[in-house]
Amino acid sequence: MRVKSGKIMATSTFCEWDAGRWPGFVAKPETSVATRFFETPVAKRPRASYARHVMAVAYIALGSNLGEREATLHAALARINTLHETRVTKVSAFRETIPVDAPAGSPPFINVAAGLETGLSADELMRALLAIEISLGRDRAGAIPHAPRPIDLDLLLFADAVIETTSLTVPHPRIHQRLFVLQPLAEIAPDAMHPVLHKTIRELLQALESTL
């Protein structure tokens, strides 16, 4: 089931975190919903650690349709921001969307996209995201496909890498088919290039919207 748009749960389109402020980033004054995940201070990390590695730009999709959805998403963002040599740089508006290919009666999702700078490899980042899912109550083992879940973290793009292993596919194989992924991602990275389809996120969104 597809929907043309989701209910936007924030007044801003995106926010950029001030990388010069520690222990946590502080959103610009005009941002709203996404600012709250940094209200609780995180452990201070030495800035020198970022200078030792080339930082990759990555984009992830976050979703929740079980429990305290918004609070869980804020918690996930905060935990991502504390990963080694990783910082959250952009967060889209929070959108409420109808579940796609889900069991009947599944509750609506809140979906959001985030941009990161990281010194981790794509595999290290994905393993860290899965660990955060577990810490927030998700158990992928034996779960019914597309069943309601407290948190869903997907690695969408990792620099211009194309990765195909038994445990990780980058870019995400269905990114161009999912409105609930493309809409928030286009807010924070409209000109990001899909390294396989050779189209920007804006172009992929426009192409998908034209078919609805």
For residue 123, indicate whether it is catalytic.
no
For residue 154, indicate whether it is catalytic.
yes
What letter represents residue 207's amino acid? Answer: A
Rounded CA-CA distance 120/53 in Å is 9
Polymer length in residues for the chain: 212
For residue 47, indicate whether it is catalytic.
no
Identified catalytic residue from 95, 152, 178, 191? 152
Q: Where are the beta strands (DSSP E) in 41-187?
A: 56-64, 86-92, 95-97, 109-118, 152-158, 163-164, 169-170
Identified catalytic residue from 45, 138, 139, 174? 138
For residue 149, indicate whether it is catalytic.
yes
Rounded CA-CA distance 90/40 in Å is 18
Q: How far are the Cα atoms of 80, 97, 104, 206, 211 from residue 4, in angstroms, in the given order?
A: 29, 10, 20, 11, 10
Identified catalytic residue from 45, 154, 160, 174? 154
* Active-site annotation, residues: 138, 149, 152, 154
